[in-house]
Structure 1
Amino acid sequence: MPIFNLFRKKTPAPSTDHWDEILLEHVSFFKKLEPRERLFFKLRMQAFLDEIEIETIETEPTETDALLIAASAIIPVFQFPDWHYSNLKTVIILPEHFNENLEFEGHGNGRRIFGMVGTGKWNHKMILSKEALYHGFKNDTDKLNTAIHEFVHLIDKMDGTIDGIPDALLEQSYVIPWINLMHEEMERINRDKSDLRHYGGSSQIEFFAVAAEYFFSRPKLMKRKHPDIYQMLSKCFTPDQE
């Protein structure tokens, strides 16, 4: 399978002058920012693209691919100007959903994965379906954004363990209340009594990522329907606005 590098390390970052048009078309989070915040957001994206390689397999690389990935990385940590994804080196884009062997388009069975953070030989790598990447920014109403979901896993992993407890962001005094909130809502999910995606009921790990997707895609709806979860995620992702 041919692999293309979209952005390589140690190459000059591209001009951001035309990024606004792409971001305003696709990224609702960017639309809501003030002009100075938009500039800072683009600078953060540029720094991310300078640090992380983006590769594609059997799909033509585009600048929009890179911008959507960079936006997905910055959205959850926008309030943390010094944040770096030290546990990520490469993002690999596949054309569609895939299985655990990264097989797609009829190459294998079980092609149900839209994105994943790698382990073992895939450590420090994120694999994303291009189809899922674009869907996450095309449809805000379904509270689904695969790329943000995977970057939240990396945030969770910053303390060395993916467990649904973002120790890098959440003050220690809130850990037990957060665990309790997770399990209460997971029970509701598994009884079909919650509008959080069913996948969030499978584990603490997936609950945190699914809830974060909801938080960034439909913040007003989450604040109304899940005020306690919204408040706790605000303490994680937007502490200065608390």
Structure 2
Amino acid sequence: MLVTAADNAHNRKWAFAVAALIAIVGCLLATLSLWWLVLLPIAAGVFYFVRRKTRRRFHVLAQPFPDVWEATLQSQVEYFRKLSPERQERFRNLMKVFLDEVAITGIRTEVDESIRALVAASAVIPILGFDDFEYSGLGEVLIYPGSFNEHYQTSDPANARTLGMVGVSHLSGVMILSKPSLVKGFSNASDKRNVGIHEFAHLVDKEDGVIDGVPPTVDTETYDPWVRWVGEELRRDVGNGEHIDDYAYTNEAEYFAVLSEYFFEAPAILEKKNPRLYQMMKAMYHQNPKRILGSGPRRRRKRVGRNSPCPCGSGEKFKRCCKRKSMQGITQSK
């Protein structure tokens, strides 16, 4: 997903070699027919096609990271704040590519840069441990003003209980998220709930073509224990006092997505309750959130004060810098 200078140079050489081969074939056919002239624009088209994604990503990654995105990460995304500087830079780069290639559209609600940053953070957290992962097929994330029902309507509060979903059928390639739920997911850093992470976990699961609770990132050593564990969990009677949200017991796919929220929000609790389950999640995501977030109980995040230095590092007070840019979207999301 990320493109280095070496990757860009290699891609350019490969595109040139393929285009040159087509052009050479055209020259060899020159004496036989005038149809060889068609191969020249084809060669140019192939060069463009091979280069376009790599060249665009290389250009996007060279752009500065917007101050408002940085302020949102610093003030609302604890997972990002606890990363090492090197991992933070990777996080920023993955966000740049994601937001360049996936449209974030508000449906009867405004979507500002702060909301876009929270959607991207939700997407990046689950894939940060992978060397090269893409949400293939995802083209757009729709942001709703609240929860919705099975008909995607928000006007019936009694039945509008869905906070997010990955589209199927005519909505394939689309994700829907409730804006208040998206913001709330980052307001409490240890409540085991984050609808953004939940829905993007479904997409990690779907990368092999089906959402079945067994992501393609699972290795051979983890596959059998995981499948057996989930099967046993879904067959047993679930009582009160479970440390895993009841919604996990809907089916295999929801079990994986709910556990993903738990894993990234409260890893120390998950490991304490079930070390074996934590190790399986760690193997599937190639991450160790407990090491990132720490093992002790975490306090609810502290908001950046109006008169505090802006987290973006501008030297200005927060109220005169990124707060001015992001407050409108944050206020409307509550």
Q: Please, what TM-score do these two structures have when normalized by structure 2?
A: 0.65
- Per-residue CA deviations over 1:151-171 (Å, capped at 9, x if unaligned) read 0001111111111011x2101
Could you say which structure has the higher helix fraction?
2
1:144 pairs with 2:205: no
The 10-residue stretch of structure 1 (116-125 or 30-39) with the greater mean CA deviation from structure 2 = 30-39
Letter in 2 for 1:218: A
Contact 1:87–1:158 (CA under 8 A) maintained in structure 2: no
Following TM superposition, by how much is the alpha carbon of 1:185 offset from its aligned partner in structure 2, in angstroms?
3.6
Residue of structure 2 equivalent to 1:30: 80
2:300 is aligned to none
Q: Which residue of 2 aligns with 1:198?
A: 246
1:206-227 Cα offsets, whole Å, 9 max, x none, are 0000001000001111111121
| Local SS of the residue matching 1:128 | strand
1:88 aligns with 2:138: yes
Bigger CA radius of gyration: 2
d(CA) in 2 for partners of 1:235 and 1:120? 31
8 A Cα contact 2:72 2:118, kept in partner: no
Hey, what's the Cα distance between the residues in 2 that align with 1:195 and 1:38? 31
Which stretches in structure 2 are left out of the alignment for 5+ residues?
1-55, 292-334
Residues 101 and 53 (structure 1), Cα distance of their counterparts in 2 relative to 1, 3 Å cut: same
The normalised TM-score by structure 1 is 0.88
In structure 1, the gaps of 5 or more residues are: 1-9
| Cα distance in 1, alignment partners of residues 166 and 148 from structure 2 | 13
Q: Quick one: which amino acid aligns to residue 21 of structure 1? A: A
Compared CA separation, residues 136 and 188, structure 1 to 2 (3 A): farther
Change (3 A) 1:119 1:17: closer
Aligned position for 2:224: 176
**Is the counterpart of residue 164 in structure 1 residue 208 in structure 2?**
no
The match for 2:202 is 153
Indicate conservation of the 8 Å contact 1:149/1:213, yes or no.
yes
Cα distance in 1 for residues equivalent to 2:145 and 2:265: 23
Deviates more, 1:63-72 or 1:97-106: 97-106
Q: Could you tell me how far 1:194 is from its partner in structure 2?
A: 2.1
Tell me the distance in 2 between the aligned counterparts of 1:183 and 1:28.
33
Alignment of 1:125-144 (within 5 A): 125-144=174-193
Taking a change above 3 Å as real, the CA distance of residues 194 and 188 of structure 1, as seen in their structure-2 partners, is farther
Determine the C-alpha separation between the residues in 1 that align with 2:233 and 2:133: 29
Write out per-residue CA displacement over residues 34-66 of structure 1, whole angstroms, 9 at most, x where no aligned residue. Answer: 112111110110011111111111111110111
Shift, 1:187, TM fit = 5.1
Alignment match, 2:265: 217
Residue 315 of structure 2 corresponds to: none
- 8 Å contact from structure 1 (residues 189, 200) kept in 2: no
- More strand as a share of residues: 1
State which drifts further: 89-98 or 133-142: 133-142
Q: 1:43 is matched by which residue type in structure 2?
A: N
Q: Which has the higher contact order (CA 8 A, sep 6+)?
A: 2
1:49 to 78, 96, 99: 99
**Secondary structure of 2:142's match?**
strand
1:234 aligns with 2:282: yes
CA contact (8 A) 1:96 1:105 kept: no
Corresponding residue SS for 1:190? coil
Residue 80 of structure 2 contacts residue 88 of structure 2 at CA under 8 Å; is this kept in 1? Answer: yes
Identity %: 38
Offset, 1:105: 3.4
How many residues of Structure 1 are paired with residues of Structure 2 in the alignment? 232
Shift of 1:186: 3.8
